[in-house]
Amino acid sequence: MNQLRRGAVLVLLAAAVTACRQDMHDQPKYRPFRGSQIFADGRSARPFVPGTVARGTLREDAVLYTGKVGSEFVTEIPVKVTAELLARGQTQYQVFCSPCHGRTGRGDGMVTQRGFKKPSSYHVDRLRQMPIGYFYDVMTIGFGAMSDYSAQVTPEDRWAIAAYVRTLQYSQYAPAADVPAEKHPELDASLAKAPAPEHHP
């Protein structure tokens, strides 16, 4: 009798566990794109409530995320410019920008050497006079043959790159008085090798 009872208990337990597992497999749910008779529009997937913003995507600071005030490009970087920011900008520039724009911003990157359309040098007068927000905007929405990089580069890193581009531009036109005296021999040597400044538009 004891063996029969134990056997019966085991059978009942197995049935209970199987039923529970099957219920989990067959639980009520909607598969993607399945219709529904519950909602008036016949869709099981519900639209977002108006005004809903996904976590982490509220962008109240328009200057930070657009590079503009209204329709005008900003002339000042909306983040603190530090050595760390410029170092980050250099790293990101070399990864995402230098293949086309070249390491010094002259538009002579490896991709252009292989036949891709050459971008303008950053050192021409037109781009040297552009507000800093312009460079952020181009990275965000693209320009001409250049696609946007908003998916690959965060807003903060776009500003870091823009700051580094300004540094590249300044490096070609900085007054000699800004160079420490002990660096003058290196400056003289590099100037002897450097191409002439670009003044065309």
Residue 54: predicted pLDDT: 83
Does 121 reside within a domain?
A: yes
Q: How far apart are CA 141 and CA 97, in angstroms?
A: 15
Predicted confidence (pLDDT) at residue 199 exceeds the cutoff of 60 = no
Does 125 reside within a domain?
A: yes
Does 185 reside within a domain?
A: no
Q: Categorize the per-residue pLDDT at 162 as very low, low, confident or very high, splitting at 50, 70 and 90.
A: very high
CATH number at residue 122: 1.10.760.10
Mean pLDDT over 112-132 rounds to 93
Residue 151: predicted pLDDT: 93
Does 165 reside within a domain?
A: yes
Does 37 reside within a domain?
A: no
**Residue 43, strand partner residues:** 35
**Residue 69, strand partner residues:** 72
Distances (CA, A) of 73 to 11, 22, 77, 81, 116: 75, 61, 11, 18, 29
How far does Cα 67 stand from its chain's mean position? 14
Q: Which domain holds residue 104?
A: 80-174
- Answer yes or no: are the C-beta atoms of 109 and 100 closer than 8 Å: yes
Q: Categorize the per-residue pLDDT at 173 as very low, low, confident or very high, splitting at 50, 70 and 90.
A: confident
Pull the structure tokens for residue 142: 């693209």
Residue 169: predicted pLDDT: 95
Question: What domain count does the chain have?
Answer: 1
